[in-house]
């Protein structure tokens, strides 16, 4: 993959993330006090989908930099850790994204009714800032390679 192809890939991923963000915020409204189980499941799926897009962006950047990212069971954690180690993710963003990864892992292996709404709500409310931060960090990193 060339640098131009990598940039184009990221542009497409961020467009996909923006589409999912629009869907998420058509369901989630901060002023709304309660959500049905189906709405909570949709919100959780959108959050995970957005996180997966971010993870995909980071993974492609690491592959472009020829860093070892295999498809082992722990590759999700490895992507975040390596992105932090090489400076794509500052420590505070690394910590935030680690929370989304933990949520993703919990969601996959749990029933939606076992997920605490307040835990999910805090992730949703932070998501616009997290996406803006990751977009900025990715753009900045791409300028250095």
* Phi (first) and psi of residue 2, to 5 degrees: -85, 170
Q: Hey, where are the domains in the chain?
A: 3-26+35-144
CATH class of 3-26+35-144: mainly alpha
- Cβ neighbors of 137 (< 8 A, separation 6 or more) are 88, 89, 90, 93
- pLDDT string in tens for the chain (145-residue length): 899 999 999 999 999 999 999 999 999 998 998 899 999 999 999 999 999 999 999 999 998 988 777 666 778 888 999 999 988 999 999 999 999 999 999 998 889 888 888 889 999 999 999 999 999 999 999 988 8
Q: In sequence order, what DSSP letters do the residues of 130-144 get, joined into one string?
A: HHHHHHHHHHHHHHH
pLDDT at 14: 98
Give residue for tokens 């049905």.
36
pLDDT at 66: 84
pLDDT at 72: 67
Q: Could you tell me the pTM of the whole model?
A: 0.92
What CA–CA distance (Å, rounded) separates 95 from 101?
A: 10
7 closest CA partner among 54, 53, 89, 64: 64
What CA–CA distance (Å, rounded) separates 60 from 103?
A: 22
The vertex-58 CA angle with 55 and 59, nearest 5°, equals 85
Q: In sequence order, what DSSP letters do the residues of 71-88 get, joined into one string?
A: -STTHHHHHHHHHHHTTS
């Amino acid at each position: 993959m060339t640098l131009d192809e990598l940039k184009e890939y990221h542009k497409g991923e961020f467009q996909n993330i923006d589409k999912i963000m629009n869907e998420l915020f058509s369901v989630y409204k901060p002023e709304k006090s309660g959500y049905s189980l189906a709405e909570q499941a949709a919100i959780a799926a959108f959050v995970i989908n957005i996180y997966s897009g971010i993870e995909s962006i980071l993974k492609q950047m690491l592959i472009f930099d020829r860093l070892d990212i295999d498809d082992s069971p722990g590759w999700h954690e490895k992507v975040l850790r390596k992105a932090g180690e090489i400076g794509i993710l500052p420590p505070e963003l690394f910590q935030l994204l680690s929370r989304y990864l933990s949520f993703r892992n919990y969601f996959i292996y749990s029933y939606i009714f076992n997920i605490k709404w307040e835990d999910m709500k805090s992730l949703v409310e932070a998501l616009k800032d997290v996406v803006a931060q990751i977009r900025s960090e990715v753009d900045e990193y791409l300028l250095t390679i």
